[in-house]
Amino acid sequence: MSNTAIAAENATSLVVEGVSVIYPNGHQALNNASFRLGAGTICALVGVNGSGKSTLFKSIMGFVNPTAGTVRINGMPVRQSLKQHAVAYVPQAEEVDWQFPVSVSDVVMMGRYGAMNFLRIPRAVDRQKVEESLKRVSMWEFRDRQIGELSGGQKKRVFLARALAQGGRVILLDEPFTGVDVKTEDAIIALLHELRESGCIIFVSTHNLGSVPEFCDQVVLINRTVLAYGATADVFTAQNLAKAFGGVLREFEFEQSTIQEHDGQKVRVVTDDERPLVFGKDGHLEYMDREKHEKLLRERSEEND
């Protein structure tokens, strides 16, 4: 990797320092939240409903101004970084009006508006970016479809393509796996891994606990403030989760024999649509593909050395 590429990579950062948000109606959504993320990470933002996840997202996107504290993106204040189109976001499916008369490529082209002149007439480079992005999420064949005619997973990929077309280095995803089939979920995760390799910060708000250890290397755990943040294995402990969720989580305890003697055997956990979070012996996290995950962890620790 060239030095300039490394420099560019190092520039990508997200620093939240002492952020408090009090809404005009007096509701304090966040109190003194602090954490920092460096280039090349997939970080989960985990917390119950009403814990301030969306408020935190809104402060990063400049939709709400913190009552106290600062958010800095790539070393710049939010407004300035937005002007450079550094932040891209993928909205929740419920926030989008799927009846809207726009096609798949229309939506992805919207990611290019910031780079176009004020009449928003697409140039060759814009068309090319849209095509690249759609091909990258395997949605190019669907480019002329109206957005309501897509499956849940396809809809998600269209908005991911918009973020790609925009070229943001900090990408915020709100509940990316709601209504998404498992196969698409894997495809999205693979793409997020690629983006992480290229130095992007992927910040994922989710309540789907089981998928977090599968694809996130860091976690920010919040409940009105940041309870803990850092590497997934350190933060995602049964104690921390209990602190974040209180009694909200449903817990299944298996027969002791299953938990104690699972190494080298299959542990079978069946749930409905969402991935379960499984703690094994000594409270360590269980992964779908243990060896692959350990290899990844080894590689990452070598990189950091």
Looking only at residues 76 through 135 of this chain, which bind another protein when binding is defined by CB under 8 A? 79, 82-83, 85, 87-89, 91, 95-97, 100-103, 106-107, 110-111, 113-114, 118-120
Counting other chains too, the contacts that 93-98 makes at CB distance below 8 Å and 24 or more residues apart are 93/152, 93/155, 93/156, 93/175, 93/178, 93/179, 95/174, 96/147, 96/155, 96/159, 98/147, 98/148, 98/155
Q: How far is the CB of 216 from another protein (least distance, A)?
A: 22
Using CB under 8 A, which of the segments 3-11, 75-83, 175-183, 282-290 binds another protein? Answer: 75-83
CB of 143 to another protein, least distance (A): 13
By C-beta, is 100 or 254 nearer to another protein? 100
Give least dist CB 22 to another protein, A.
14
Task: Specify whether the backbone of 185 is left (phi greater than 0), alpha (psi in -120 to 50) or beta.
Answer: alpha
Cα 264 to Cα 15, 189, 291, distances in angstroms: 41, 26, 12
Residues in binding contact with another protein, number by CB under 8 A: 34
Sheet strands side by side (includes 68-73): 28-38, 13-22, 68-73, 76-77
**Both structure tokens of 2:** 């060239």
Question: Does residue 63 interact with another protein by CB under 8 A?
Answer: yes
**Please, what is the minimum distance in Å from the beta carbon of residue 89 to another protein?**
5
User: Taking the complex as a whole, how short is the minimal distance between the CB of residue 38 and another protein, in angstroms?
Assistant: 21
Q: Which x/- pattern, by CB under 8 A, does the window 142-171 give for another protein? A: ----x-x-------------x---x-x---
Q: Which stretch binds another protein (CB under 8 A): 55-63, 189-197, 209-217, 236-244?
A: 55-63
Distances (CA, A) of 1 to 168, 194, 199, 206: 21, 16, 12, 33
- Shortest distance in whole angstroms from residue 84 CB to another protein: 8
What residue spans of 30-91 are helical by DSSP H?
A: 53-60, 78-83
- Report the residue number, 168 or 213, with the smaller CB distance to another protein: 168
Q: To which residue do tokens 């408020």 refer?
A: 55
Helical segments of the chain, H only: 3-11, 53-60, 78-83, 104-110, 124-136, 152-166, 182-197, 212-215, 232-235, 238-245, 256-260, 290-304
Q: Select the span of 5-13, 57-65, 226-234, 278-286 touching another protein (CB under 8 A).
A: 57-65
Region binding another protein by CB under 8 A among candidate stretches 30-38, 59-67, 123-131, 268-276: 59-67
Enumerate binding residues for another protein (CB under 8 A).
24-25, 61-63, 79, 82-83, 85, 87-89, 91, 95-97, 100-103, 106-107, 110-111, 113-114, 118-120, 146, 148, 162, 166, 168
